[in-house]
Amino acid sequence: MEPINIESTPKTPSIKFIQEESVIEIKGRSIPENSIEFYKPLVDWLEEYARDPLKKTVVNIQLEYFNTSSSKCILDVFKKLEAIHKSKHDVAINWYYEEDDEDMLEAGEDYESIIRIPFKMIEIVD
């Protein structure tokens, strides 16, 4: 599988999906013009990855801000990861948030309540 490595822009997060390292990373701001179009390659990649996932997959999410349409797409990403987790593979989600950003902490907790994968909330202290 080809890795996905997308640099961040003012409106889109950086994305790193690297199968050999079993690391998935989404970092930055997510307010793309078309969220579905932006996230579709990621969902497709995870669908393919789910056919033969590694024993453990680590997911690092460090978003400063995301809009409503991105939140649905991020949920789609989590649902693909949940399917991998249900197939008896280890999936760990690290949800990073700034120490004073209660909204981002709550967003992570909301996802955790929907998705049946353990989340680790990690506070970033400046």
**C-alpha to C-alpha distances, 72 to 34, 39, 48, 63, 69, nearest whole angstrom:** 12, 10, 20, 14, 5
Task: Find all residues with CB under 8 Å of 18, minimum gap 6, and list them.
Answer: 3, 4, 5, 24
What is the share, in percent, of the chain residues with pLDDT greater than 70?
Answer: 100
Instruction: Output the pLDDT for position 86.
Output: 95
Q: Which residue has the tokens 């649905």?
A: 72
Q: Mind listing the pLDDT tens digit for each residue in 105-122?
A: 999 999 999 999 989 999
- Mean per-residue pLDDT of the chain: 95
Does the pLDDT at position 126 exceed 80? no
**Considering the domain 4-124 in this protein, what is its CATH number?**
3.30.750.24
Listed by start position, the domains of the chain span 4-124
